[in-house]
Amino acid sequence: MAADSRSWFWALVHGDPRAIIRGIAVFVLLLMLYMAMEIPFIPWARSFGLWPTLAGSWFGRSSTPGRASFVFLELEGHVGRGRRRIEGRAQWCERGVIQDYDLSGAPDNWRGTLFHASTRSTSELPVGLVLSQLRGQWSGDEIQADVLLISNARSVTISEETSSSGSSATKPPVLHYVLQRGGEEQFVAACKGAN
């Protein structure tokens, strides 16, 4: 019995090629099984090439009149502790200045066609408007996204809107983006070209 339990480890240590190949095959099989088991929980992140996914790289331009800005998203899907999560990073460019963010959010439905995410800056931000939250609608190779901007300084003026009660309320700007699958290179080129 001791010789049998030692033989697998012994073969690995002493380089038995068949045992090494079997060990690698078992590891790959277990990894594939784990990933396949995730598909029912996060079909928007895993497909093995069978259908489009929300996970991936996205690039877009603001369709808000009078605002030339660009956004790049790199999204990943995760399952853990009974929760489905969207994580990744974002870059935002306005007036030739690129800001970097981490993204964290979740799908709003099982297929992931509706989702939301919050941002956290990964670099020092210039005074002005910065990304805060993102709400998206995904279909195939396009994302329609509304991005909420907030001020990181008191000196920035945000448009005022009068509510139905007649009082004046500050409303943070929301930009609308149409994103397509695309890389960071496209984003950087568009950002530099717009300045």
Q: What is the pTM of this model?
A: 0.71
Residue-wise burial string across 15-51, b where 16 or more C-beta atoms lie within 10 A, e elsewhere: eeeebeeeeeeeeeeeeeeeeeeeeeebbbbbeeeee
Residue 102 and residue 64 in contact, taking contact as beta carbons nearer than 8 Å: no
172's tokens: 């943070």
Calculate what percentage of the chain has a pLDDT beyond 90.
Answer: 37
3-class SS shares of the chain: helix, strand, coil, % to 5: 25, 45, 35
- Which residue ranges make up each domain of the chain? 2-38, 56-194
CATH code of the domain occupying 56-194: 2.40.128
CA dihedral 138, 62, 185, 115 (to 10 degrees): -30
Question: Comparing C-alpha atoms, which of 137, 134, 166, 161 is closest to residue 150?
Answer: 134
Decide if 182 contacts 75 (C-beta within 8 A). Answer: no
Q: In whole angstroms, what is the distance from residue 34 CA to residue 84 CA?
A: 15
Q: What is the pLDDT of residues 48-82, one digit of tens each?
A: 667 788 999 999 999 777 778 999 999 998 877 66
Confidence of residue 89 (pLDDT cuts 50, 70, 90): very high
**If you average pLDDT over residues 135-162, what whole number do you get?**
75
